[in-house]
Amino acid sequence: MIGFDYGTSNCAVGVMEGNHPTILPLGSHGRYIASNLYAPSRAVIVNWLHGRLPAAEQDTFKRQRTIALQQGQAALRELALDAIPAELAFGRDALASYLQAPDEGYYIKSPKSFLGASGLMPQQIELFEDIVAAMMSNVKTLTEAALGRTVTQTVIGRPVNFQGLRGEESNRQALAILTHAAKRVGFKDVEFQFEPVAAGFEYEAGLSRETRVLVVDIGGGTTDCSLLLMGPKRAAQQDRGPDLLSHSGERVGGNDLDIALALKGMMPAFGLNSLLKTGKAIPVHSYWQAVAINDINLQTEFYSAANGRFLQQLVRDAAQPELVNRLLTMQKNRLSYRVVNAAEQGKIALTEQSAQQVGLSDIDQELTIRLDRDDFARACQRELNRIATLIAEAIAQAGTKPEVVFVTGGTARSPVLNRFLQQQFEHTPIVVGDHFGSVTAGLTRWAEKIYS
């Protein structure tokens, strides 16, 4: 049995060793593997997956994906003619493959962000299920190699809400995709636990008395808040429903902060906020499309041929065409992930440094953008306000205030986030947990409790 944090930014797996959870090394990736995938062609993902499914699943999968497998075979023949390897890459290897040739192949980061999206067609849902299954298959293989045994039972973390727009309908869609994918790759028993609750379980292991704990989990894709009654007596109970006083959650997390920083901190160097020759402000919608890597529809619009023609005209109409031409270059070479990744790396660097130079010479040889913590705070003010609202909602629903705030999630490492949280809780102690490992450890504890 394992605890499996299939996260928006990273995936991690935990097992119990005695009374303590241990996060496993996943091959060369270490304890955390980035939640991304690269394929030389989108069509071959289904074929790669089919070849790695348990034997009992292969025939059923073949019947369900007959047309997709045939399309994949055609793509494989083309790749073979061009002497291009047909293997999929995961984690940092996937990012490296994408950055080597951004306009070739198929790269997706944080597919968990899309699972609750509205308006998905059946073939899109099948594609996301296959992408998730391929990533889970890779993690399961690495896990079993580390343990030297087969793993068939798992507890997977889930946010309170995958997508704020459709509530429970989005949650059902996302959980169905995750469940089908997990069972397809060989997990026989699959359960879910709220990520902030799981993080709270890990904190609870160190408590000596009953305490009202507000868990604030600021992850890559969502922020989730749970107010729980915790303590040594309650930890021994299997039914923790009565201890959960309130929940709130929304799709606002590290990815949204990266996008906001890319838009407001970097897009001005691409012409955002500049003028047309007529003196009017330049249209902003294409800039939002360019960086919205977690919105399928906006990215499709940005890379459409019609938008390419629009941007060419925009360059001609711009008072500073050299800036807008950078946006056109971004569109022609499919560099959205490249730019948002640069913003993400800048954000990470600002954890340790007050300012950072970000170079984008692959877009323009002279392009270097300076970012500092104040830029980050201004760019993310809307997202920070949404997080403040979620915190207030959780406390209001519970009808009582927390005695301690437990903060986890990789995004919470930022000094800007720390300062923001201190402002929200001036008179309440804040405890910072393992930014990346608290959820995995809590899922692992819960797996032992329900499967033992």
HSE of 167 in the Cβ direction (CA atoms, 13 Å)? 1
Both 415 and 330 in one domain: the answer is no
* Residue at which a domain ends, from 337, 354, 379: 379
Q: Is 201 part of a structural domain of the chain?
A: no
pLDDT of residue 250: 85
Both 408 and 262 in one domain: the answer is no
Both 245 and 271 in one domain: the answer is no
Both 69 and 168 in one domain: the answer is yes
pTM of the entire predicted model: 0.85
Please answer whether residues 234 and 264 qualify as being in contact, where contact means their C-beta atoms are separated by less than 8 angstroms: no
Into how many domains does the chain fold?
3
Both 179 and 227 in one domain: the answer is no
Cα angle 245, 247, 249 (rounded to 5 degrees) comes to 170
- For 224-276, the pLDDT digits (tens) are 899 999 999 888 887 888 888 999 988 888 889 999 999 999 999 999 999 99
pLDDT of residue 403: 95
Q: Is 442 part of a structural domain of the chain?
A: no
Both 24 and 126 in one domain: the answer is yes
pLDDT of residue 166: 55
Where in the sequence is the domain holding 51, given as residue range(s)?
Answer: 2-195
Pairing between β-strand 404-408 and β-strand 211-218 as defined by DSSP bridges: parallel
Please answer whether residues 411 and 417 qualify as being in contact, where contact means their C-beta atoms are separated by less than 8 angstroms: yes
Both 292 and 399 in one domain: the answer is no
Both 314 and 389 in one domain: the answer is no
pLDDT of residue 238: 78
- Write the DSSP symbol of residue 402: -
* φ, ψ of residue 390 in degrees (nearest 5): -65, -40
Both 228 and 305 in one domain: the answer is no
Q: Is 107 part of a structural domain of the chain?
A: yes
Q: Is 200 part of a structural domain of the chain?
A: no
Given a cut of 50, the residues of the chain with pLDDT beneath it are: none
Amino acid present at 309:
R
Both 309 and 405 in one domain: the answer is no
pLDDT of residue 69: 94
Both 239 and 262 in one domain: the answer is no
Both 216 and 188 in one domain: the answer is no
- For 81-106, the pLDDT digits (tens) are 988 888 999 999 999 999 888 888 99
Domain at 403, CATH number: 3.30.420.40
Angle between the N-to-C axes of helices 91-100 and 336-352, in degrees from 0 to 180, rounded to the nearest 10: 130
